[in-house]
Structure 1
Amino acid sequence: MLLYKDSLVELQYEVATDVLSMEWPDVTGFSKSEISHYLQKVIDTLKHYDVRRYLIDSRHNKVEVTETEQKNIAYQFSTELLKTRVNKMARVVGQNTEKERRVENMRQQLVAELPFEMEYQEFTDMATALSWLKA
């Protein structure tokens, strides 16, 4: 079921399995405040539907911001994510090794700084990610 769609974000919700999925948006050509606004829409949807399982498809997104800006956005989003009831999150990774290196470094920093208690796994394909989330 399509819950939300605009120029940056599309949120799909599978009611039977309580999985909210989204393709992570390109962080290109938008201001930090615009990106924060759109990501807050994701958080609001997670809260409103009391979602427990969250799937991020980041295979095709582009990141054209500095590492500092990217970390600030990720920190803000992660802090808000902790206020939801999400307890299981899967991320489908892309082929861009530089982007994935940056994401992994940020993820490690965020895990060290924030009290994450949710299960988290990364996958190379959607089917395996969904299977893990639904298990």
Structure 2
Amino acid sequence: MILHHNGLIKLEYSPATDILQVNYPDLYSYQLTEVRHSLSIMVETIRNYDVKRLLLDASVTSIHITDEENSELNLNLARELSKTRLQKVARIHPLSPLRESIAQKNIEKIFHSGIVPYELKTFSHRTEALSWLLN
């Protein structure tokens, strides 16, 4: 069922599997305020529905912000997700090797910060990610 859809982000939840599927939004400087708000809606939805499994699909996300803005956005998201009861987060990596390299650096920063109580694993395909979330 679709819990939220605002043009930037769509939250699709399956109560049977307790998986929230989200396509990570495109990131443009002029939309950062709206993206932050959409991500806060996602976190609040995770909290309200007590979601334990999250699938973040960044495979086709377009990023047009600075690496610093991107890093800050991801660190804040991880910090907010750590305040929920999430247990597993599966992410589908971007198709661009350069974008994935930047994402991995951000993930390392997040793990070094010590704020992530949930499992996080990166996948190439949605089916692999869903399978891991269900196990």
TM-score for the superposition, normalised by structure 1: 0.96
Taking the TM superposition and a 5 Å limit, the aligned residue runs for 1:31-110 are 31-110=31-110
Aligned to 1:114: 114
Q: Which runs of 5+ in 2 are unaligned?
A: none
Which residue identity is paired with 1:75?
L
Aligned residue pair count: 135
Percent identity over the alignment?
A: 29
Q: Which runs of 5+ in 1 are unaligned?
A: none
Q: Deviations 1:20-67 (Å, cap 9, x if unpaired)?
A: 001000002533322211110100100010000000011001111001
- The CA RMSD over aligned residues, in Å, is 1.0
- The separation in 2 between residues aligned to 1:31 and 1:58, in whole angstroms, is 17
30-39 vs 76-85, greater mean Cα deviation: 30-39
The DSSP-based 3-state class of the residue aligned with 1:31 is helix
TM-score for the superposition, normalised by structure 2: 0.96
Given the alignment of the two structures, is residue 28 of structure 1 paired with residue 28 of structure 2, yes or no?
yes
- The separation in 1 between residues aligned to 2:30 and 2:14, in whole angstroms, is 29
122-131 vs 26-35, greater mean Cα deviation: 26-35
Aligned to 2:127: 127
Aligned to 1:8: 8
The DSSP-based 3-state class of the residue aligned with 2:30 is coil
